[in-house]
């Protein structure tokens, strides 16, 4: 009798443990907004339907085993992965691993920024740049300043000649208005944006590089210049340096020397925050091919108006005053003064999104974050982040799931859950107002953008569309892929804190996406 009581007690305890385990599992799933899965069996269905569901269930179970095997690679043991994969057709969770954990997303943060931007601004949104004359025109001479007012257009490029063509057209419009000479200054009015050009939490040693270029209301050539380094005539000579566009505002200290022929180059750039002084150190081998570096300017506004001033002179308009940032002068003309001669609008957001996402252009993302903030009252990153949270909450993304500090993901203070990224992507995909241009902006596996050389020759090539993310010890890949049955799947795969080579991490993420592309629920065992 005592033995029976003990058995009963053990069985009761086991039932209680199972109930608690089930409760905790349900709570975990609920907190992560997991989708309800399709039934595993075929109860209440015709035999052929039941068999079809069983086949589908078997296919998904095999998918999970295959993905588990990929992540079981010993080379990945020290890293941390967050993964969520869902069917857009059924909302079924096909695979999940740490989906509710906050992860550094790198450039997957651009998914958050673009989604919020298009919801707030619309795909037709454009940036306006105006040129105003502040003063009277007397016998072809503008007795005053020429003021350029920007609103953040990130798309005007010098590298492809489009800036020269546009500035030439503006010069023609000034001449048509009777201006052949400007007695005053070329003033850059950047007051639409705040003066904080850099993102919160950016590493100081990133700042010389073009991917860490600051943003402003007036922007040219993505606020970066091209520096070309050539070897000297003999070993030990100082290397030659050229800067294009020349009116960069940078002061270059050249400490690069010419080394013996055949030695590998070693060139490092350094510029402190808020300083125009760029130091280049290192060596370039005698007889070596030129080395080209793209570096960020210090003051985007001064860079813009300096280039515009040079273009006006090249197009026959005499400019007697200097190019200046409106923040550096105390007698700036008011925006209400004078009249507008030029009103130029950028390409729409639907076109800008391609450069943002396919090339992973950080400056575009930071510009959009401030533009979102402007629509909410002031063009600051803080306002932008607050507005993004307000946009995402009705979509089912809690503030605790997206900790945003910049627009691009360059900050190591950014954190996002894979669940949040999947929720955002699924919402955008299902909203006809948002979907088509957003999906079109994503890199295509094996074809273009940052995925042009990945997943080639696989079922994912020209199939998967996804945003990459890459910085030290962070790799991310989130987007869409279509299975062998034509079922569209949304996924987010993020790796943090790994010690394996980045190529190993990318190959693992790619292998997951390729496996999804081969998934078939309809094939019978």
- Other Cβ atoms closer than 10 A to 67: 21
For residue 274, give both structure tokens.
Answer: 């808020």
3-state helix, strand, coil in the chain (%, to 5): 40, 25, 40
110 is catalytic: yes
For residue 431, give both structure tokens.
Answer: 């909203």
107 is catalytic: yes
In DSSP terms, 243 is beta-bridged to 227
Contacts of residues 326-333 at CB distance under 8 Å and 24 or more positions apart, as own/partner, are 326/147, 326/187, 326/188, 326/189, 326/190, 326/191, 326/301, 327/190, 327/195, 327/301, 329/185, 329/187, 332/187, 332/189, 333/134, 333/144, 333/145, 333/147, 333/187
Choose the catalytic residue: 360, 408, 411, 478: 360
Residues 6+ apart with CB under 8 A from 167: 307, 308, 311, 312, 315
Of 103, 23, 130, 66, give the one whose Cα is nearest residue 422.
Answer: 103
* Preceding amide of 245 cis, omega within 30: yes
Choose the catalytic residue: 107, 346, 441, 492: 107
Largest pairwise CA distance in the chain: 117
**100 in Cβ contact with 417 (< 8 Å):** yes
| Residue 218 phi, psi dihedral angles, 5° rounding | -115, 125
Distances in whole angstroms, Cα of residue 16 to Cα of each of 13, 21, 26, 48: 5, 9, 15, 38
From CA 410, how far away is CA 157, in angstroms rounded?
22
**171 in Cβ contact with 311 (< 8 Å):** yes
* Sole residue written with tokens 């929720």: 423
Pairing of the two strands 141-149 and 186-189 = parallel
Choose the catalytic residue: 86, 110, 120, 358: 110
| Residue 234 phi, psi dihedral angles, 5° rounding | -150, 155
| Residue 224 phi, psi dihedral angles, 5° rounding | -140, 155
- CA R_g for the chain: 28
From CA 327, how far away is CA 329, in angstroms rounded?
6
Q: Hey, which residues are catalytic here?
A: 107, 110, 360
């Amino acid at each position: 009798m005592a033995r029976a009581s003990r058995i009963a007690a053990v069985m009761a305890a086991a039932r209680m443990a199972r109930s608690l385990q089930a409760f905790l599992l349900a709570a975990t799933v609920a907190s992560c907004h997991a989708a309800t899965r399709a039934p595993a069996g075929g109860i209440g269905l015709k035999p052929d339907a039941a068999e079809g569901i069983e086949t589908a269930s078997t296919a998904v179970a095999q998918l999970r085993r295959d993905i588990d095997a990929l992540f079981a690679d010993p080379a990945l043991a020290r890293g941390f992965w967050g993964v969520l994969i869902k069917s857009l057709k059924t909302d079924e969770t096909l695979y999940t691993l740490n989906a509710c954990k906050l992860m550094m997303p790198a450039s997957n943060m651009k998914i958050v920024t673009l989604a919020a931007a298009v919801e707030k601004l619309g795909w037709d949104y454009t940036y306006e740049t105006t040129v105003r004359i502040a003063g009277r025109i007397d016998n072809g001479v503008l007795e005053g300043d020429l003021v350029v007012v920007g609103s953040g257009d990130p798309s005007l490029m010098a590298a492809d000649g489009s800036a020269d063509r546009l500035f030439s057209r503006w010069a023609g419009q000034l001449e048509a208005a009777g201006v052949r000479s400007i007695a005053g200054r070329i003033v850059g009015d950047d007051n639409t944006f705040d003066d904080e050009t850099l993102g919160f939490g950016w590493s100081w040693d990133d700042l010389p590089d073009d991917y860490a270029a600051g943003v402003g209301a007036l922007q040219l050539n993505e606020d970066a210049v091209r520096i070309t380094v050539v070897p000297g005539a003999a070993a030990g000579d100082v290397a030659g340096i050229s800067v294009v566009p020349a009116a960069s505002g940078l002061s270059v200290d050249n400490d690069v020397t010419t080394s013996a022929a055949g030695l590998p180059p070693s060139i490092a750039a350094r510029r402190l925050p808020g300083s125009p002084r760029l130091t280049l150190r290192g060596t370039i081998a005698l007889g070596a091919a030129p080395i080209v570096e793209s570096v960020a300017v210090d003051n985007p506004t001064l860079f813009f108006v300096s280039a515009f001033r040079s273009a006006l002179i090249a197009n026959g308009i005499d400019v007697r005053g200097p190019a200046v940032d409106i923040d550096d002068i105390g007698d700036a003309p008011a925006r209400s003064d004078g009249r507008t001669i030029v009103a130029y609008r950028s390409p729409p957001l639907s076109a800008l999104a391609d450069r943002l996402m396919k090339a992973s252009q950080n400056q575009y993302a930071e510009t959009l974050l401030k533009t979102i903030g402007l629509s909410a009252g002031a063009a600051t990153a803080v306002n932008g982040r607050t507005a993004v949270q307000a946009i995402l909450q009705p979509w089912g993304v809690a503030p605790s799931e997206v900790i945003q500090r910049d627009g691009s993901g360059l900050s190591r203070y950014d954190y996002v859950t894979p669940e949040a990224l999947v929720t955002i992507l699924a919402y955008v995909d299902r909203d006809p107002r948002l979907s088509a241009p957003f999906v079109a902006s994503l890199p295509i596996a094996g074809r273009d953008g940052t995925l042009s050389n990945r997943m080639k020759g696989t079922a994912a090539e020209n199939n998967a569309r996804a945003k990459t993310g890459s910085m030290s010890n962070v790799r991310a890949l989130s987007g869409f892929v279509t299975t062998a049955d034509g079922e569209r799947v949304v996924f987010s795969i993020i790796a943090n804190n790994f010690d394996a080579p980045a190529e190993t991490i990318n190959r693992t993420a790619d292998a997951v996406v390729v496996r999804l592309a081969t998934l078939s629920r309809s094939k019978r065992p």
